[in-house]
Structure 1
Amino acid sequence: MLKAQYQTRGPVPQDVIEAVDLQLPAPTAGQVRIKVLAAPINPSDVLTLTGQYGMLPPLPAIGGNEGVGKVEELGPDVTALKVGQTVLLPVGCGTWVTHLNTDASKLIALPDADPQQLAMLTVNPPTASLLLSQFVDLQPGEWVIQNAANSGVGSYLMQLAKLRGFKTINVVRRESAIAATQQDGGDVVLVDGPDLAKRVREATGSATIRLAIDAVGGAATDHLAACLGEGGTVVNYGMMSGEPCQVSPSAIVFRDVTLKGFWLAKWFRAASQAEQGKVFGELVQLIASGKLKTRIAATYDVSQIKEAVAAAAGGEREGKILIVPK
């Protein structure tokens, strides 16, 4: 058994984490032993390793915030689960491991489906879903624009928008990302640049756009703001550029464009169980049925955690990096 552990944080994320032996006791009353099937590496995980994320666990820590596993052993008094069942792992439990013990009450049973796709359920799909629903009351036929469209969230957002009847303008930062983004169902795919607003007007017939989704920051935020109509909203959820969001005074003063932020962790804290159940109930069914999925660039064993984190932190890849224990 192995775990991917880090004792410090630093600017090169793969340098601070390593695979070490894991010793687990037998599950106690109310616990189960889980064999991890798959766990993704998200941008937030990389920022946690560098110390730049908004919420940092105490050290030493095990990497990974989401994933799925299979019940391998039941502790005393566990009746709600059975051996062999696929379950969603608790958020933030340290999922870059081969095995873990956890309270049975914290696990959510999942349908039998592709575990690698189910492993990405907790972070990116709800982020995409809520970005589309929490800020602007979009109606079928309306346009929404996003950057980082070739990211995990971007892929889910395109698919969910299509399912809900919205049209998407999808902005990427390099020509090589266009083809894969088009394959994900983007209605319009453009490379970012200072003249983005002009090209968006040409592509949409000067349609009024009320919602822009920004994961990049810096000048890219202003490029999106310039595409919006009167009273439009830019929602930022990431800082891929490493730069503060920029929005010109002309957008804010003359067109009443607003800039808001979204952090899924804060939504989890505020949302009721019923609200969370509604969001995840829809997403589980869509993923299990194959209607919602995202590309996987590569999979790595826990023993290859340094290579996996380096791949996730690097640029110009198409799809997600997953830890898939052998």
Structure 2
Amino acid sequence: MLKAEYQQRGPVPQDVIAAVPFDLPELGAGEARVKVLAAPINPSDVLTLTGEYGMLPPLPAIGGNEGVGRVEAVAADVEGLKPGQMVLLPVGCGTWRSHLQVKAKQLIALPEADPLQLAMLTVNPPTAYLMLREFVDLKPGDWVIQNAANSGVGSYLIQLAKIRGLKTVNVVRRESAIDTVNAEGGDVVLVDGRDLHKRVREATGGAAIKLGIDAVAGQSTDHLAQCLAEEGVLVNYGRMSGEPCQVTPSSFVFRDVTLRGFWLAKWFQKASQAEQMQVFGELIGLIAQGKLKTRIGATYDVSEIQQAVAAAAAGERDGKILVVPK
């Protein structure tokens, strides 16, 4: 058995984590032993290793916040869960490992479907789903604009918008990403720049865009703000640029644009169990039916965790990096 553990944080994320062997104790009451099938590496995971994320686990820690596994054994008193079932792993349990042992009631049974796609259920799909739902009352035919459209969240947002009958303007930071976003169904795909609002107006026929989704921050926040209609809402959920959000007063003063923030961890804290299950139930169904998926760039064994983290932290990659224990 292997786990990807880090005992310190530092500016180069792959340098602080390593694969180390471990053993699990005998099953205790109410427990289940699970073989991990797949666990993604998200931008938030990289920021956790560098110490820049908003919520940091105590050290030493095992990397990984989401994933799926298959039950290998359950304690004698466990009901409703049996060996062989595919399950969703508990959020934040340290999923970059070959096996784990948790209370059976923390596991959610999943339908038999692609484990690589189901492994990404907990973070990116609900982030895209909730940003489309929580801030603006969008109707079929409405437009949404987002940057980082070639990211995992960006991919899910395009697909979820299309399911709802919404249209998307998708902004990327390099020409080489255009074809990928076009292939995923983006209605309009443009490279970011100071004249973005002019090109968006031309491409959409002057449509009133009510919602903007920003993952880049820096000047890119203002580029999106200039594209929004009066009283539009701009939601920031990341800072890929490494810079703070920048918005000129003209967007706030003359067009009453609102800048909001979204953090999935906060939503989990406030949402009821019923609300969480409603969201996950819908997303699980879409993923199991193949209606919701994202690109996979590469998979790595736990023993290759340093290469995996380096690949995930790289600026130019095409698809999600996952830890897939052999």
Q: State the match for 2:78 in structure 1.
A: 78
Match of 1:266 in 2: 266
User: Which stretches of structure 1, 4 residues or more, deviate above 2 A after TM superposition?
Assistant: none
> What is the alpha-carbon distance in structure 1 between the residues aligned to residue 125 and residue 26 of structure 2?
34
Alignment-derived partner of residue 97 in structure 2 = 97
Whole-Å separation in 2 of the counterparts to 1:95 and 1:308: 14
Q: Distance in 2 between matches of 1:12 and 1:23?
A: 28
What CA distance in whole angstroms lies between the structure 2 residues aligned with 1:99 and 1:41?
Answer: 17
CA distance in 1, matches of 2:285, 2:302: 29
Cα distance, 1:25 vs structure 2: 0.9
Counterpart Cα distance in 1 of 2:223 and 2:186: 19
Task: Specify the alignment match of 1:201 in structure 2.
Answer: 201
Per the TM alignment, residue 163 of structure 1 is displaced from its structure 2 partner at its CA by 0.1
Task: Report the equivalent of 1:148.
Answer: 148
Contact 1:26 1:75 in 2 (8 A): no
1:321 aligned residue:
321
Amino acid across the alignment from 1:273: Q
1:111 counterpart residue number? 111
Q: CA offsets, 1:245-267, max 9 Å, x none?
A: 00100000000001000000000
Query: 2:304 is matched with which residue?
Result: 304
Whole-angstrom CA distance in 1 between matches of 2:218 and 2:39: 30
Q: Is the 8 A contact 1:28 1:76 kept in 2?
A: no
What whole-Å deviation, never above 9, does each CA across 1:16-71 have from its counterpart, x for those lacking one? 00000011112111001000000000000000000000000000000000000000
SS at match of 1:220: helix
* CA distance in structure 2 between the aligned counterparts of 1:115 and 1:20, rounded to whole angstroms: 24
1:79 shift after superposition: 1.6
Question: Partners of 1:157 and 1:27 in 2: how far apart?
Answer: 40
Aligned counterpart, 1:67: 67
Q: Is the 8 A contact 1:169 1:186 kept in 2?
A: yes
Give the distance between the partners of 1:197 and 1:37, measured in 2 at CA: 44
Q: For residues 163 and 86 of structure 1, what CA distance do their matches in structure 2 show?
A: 27
Aligned to 2:239: 239
State whether structure 2 residue 178 is matched by structure 1 residue 166: no
Matches within 5 A, 1:217-232: 217-232=217-232
Matched residue count? 326
The DSSP-based 3-state class of the residue aligned with 1:59 is coil
Structural mapping, 1:272-291, within 5 Å: 272-291=272-291
SS of the equivalent of 1:168 reads: strand
**Offset of 1:75 from its aligned partner?**
1.5
Q: 3-state SS of the aligned residue for 1:245?
A: coil
Aligned equivalent of 2:30: 30
The alpha-carbon deviation at position 80 of structure 1 amounts to 1.3
Offset of residue 278 of structure 1: 1.0
SS of the residue corresponding to residue 120 of structure 2 reads coil
Q: Partner of 2:148: helix, strand, or coil?
A: coil
**CA–CA distance in structure 2, aligned partners of residues 27 and 76 of structure 1:** 9
Q: Distance in 2 between matches of 1:114 and 1:78?
A: 26
Q: CA separation in 2, counterparts of 1:196 and 1:280?
A: 35
Structure 1 CA distance, aligned partners of 2:27 and 2:300?
A: 27
Q: Which sections of structure 2, spanning at least 5 residues, go unmatched?
A: none
**Once the 2 structures are TM-superposed, how far is the Cα of residue 316 of structure 1 from its aligned partner?**
1.0
Mapped to 2, the partners of 1:320 and 1:192 lie a distance apart of 22
- Aligned equivalent of 1:41: 41
Matched AA of 1:167: K
Instruction: Indicate the RMSD between aligned Cα atoms, in angstroms.
Output: 0.4
Give the secondary-structure state (helix, strand or coil) at the position aligned to 2:130: helix
Letter in 1 for 2:312: A
The alignment status of 1:255 with 2:255, answered yes or no, reads yes
Which SS does the other structure have where 2:251 is aligned? helix
Normalising by structure 2, we get a TM-score of 1.00
Note if 1:191 corresponds to 2:191: yes
Deviation at 1:76, TM superposition (A): 2.5
